[in-house]
Amino acid sequence: MTQTLEHVHFPNEGEAYRRARNALLDEEMELRRQIEKVAAHRRALPPGGEVAEDYVFQKTGPRGRPARVKLSELFEDGKDTLAIYSFMFGPERERPCSGCTHFLDGLDGSALHIVQKINFVVVAKSPLPRLRALAKERDWKTLRLLSTGGNTYDRDYFGDSAGLSAPMRQQQEFTPGKEWDMPMLNVFRRAGGSVRHFWGSELLYVPPEPDQQYRHNDLLDPVWNMFDVTPEGRDDFEPKLSYP
């Protein structure tokens, strides 16, 4: 027996609105099912490649002094998953990428909750003092920032363009001879005494379809998701480092 789906009715809405809204609700339900289906397929991925190098990152040590930490040391006891977000703030940049920065502004509030379940760090190529200065400027309280300066993590896991093949560089329209740091999220899993790659936001390296931008981390971004439920949509909004 199929049960009739009941719908809410807002004050003074018309019949045309309710018919259209009910149809849209069907699409939203289907999208929810698809999101859950994709998430289940993601969780069911076979083991990825073993991390061949125990990368050494720069971290803030006792009394604010620079210190070193290996990738394997980023796994706390009882937490076998590690997420690493590479953001666009290399030493060649005068200012950080505004898109990455707005994303991290939101994640700073979420990080307190995220790290209750998994390990999570944010990395960039700039020296550690520069990253700390940015954190102070943005009033980031919870993000754990590490520097990849001196290691090849970003190249190997596509947090920059240096490791891309020639066909991929052409597909992404990268200028020959010019490298870019990239906003890549990678997830690693520790099991059986080894660390393996689990998932990366590879949608970053798939050309966007018409009227889209790269939406590789959209599921994690409250700004874009908020705009998607408004009449204006995303429109031509571009995040900035500051607003009037």
* DSSP letter string, 59-118: EE-GGG-EEEEEGGGG--TT--EEEEEE-S--TT-SS--HHHHHHHHHHHHHHHHHTTTS
Q: Confirm if 179 and 214 have CB atoms less than 8 A apart.
A: no
| Residue 7, in any domain of the structure | no
Q: How far apart are CA 146 and CA 131, in angstroms?
A: 8
Quick one: 160 and 66 in the same domain?
yes
Region 64-69 average pLDDT: 87
Q: What is the pLDDT of residue 106?
A: 95
Return the number of other C-beta atoms located less than 10 Å from residue 89's C-beta.
Answer: 24
Q: Confirm if 118 and 79 have CB atoms less than 8 A apart.
A: yes
Q: How many domains does the chain have?
A: 2
Give the domain range for residue 74.
Answer: 56-205
Tens digits of residue pLDDT in 17-58: 999 999 999 999 999 999 999 999 999 999 999 999 999 999
Q: What is the pLDDT of residue 89?
A: 96
| Residue 109, in any domain of the structure | yes
SS3 123: strand
60/75: higher pLDDT? 75
Quick one: 19 and 73 in the same domain?
no
Question: What is the end-to-end Cα distance of the chain in Å, rounded?
Answer: 58
Region 92-109 average pLDDT: 94
Tens digits of residue pLDDT in 103-132: 999 999 999 999 999 999 999 999 999 999
SS3 188: strand
Region 160-183 average pLDDT: 90
| Residue 239, in any domain of the structure | no
Of the pLDDT bands very low, low, confident and very high (cuts 50, 70, 90), residue 1 is low
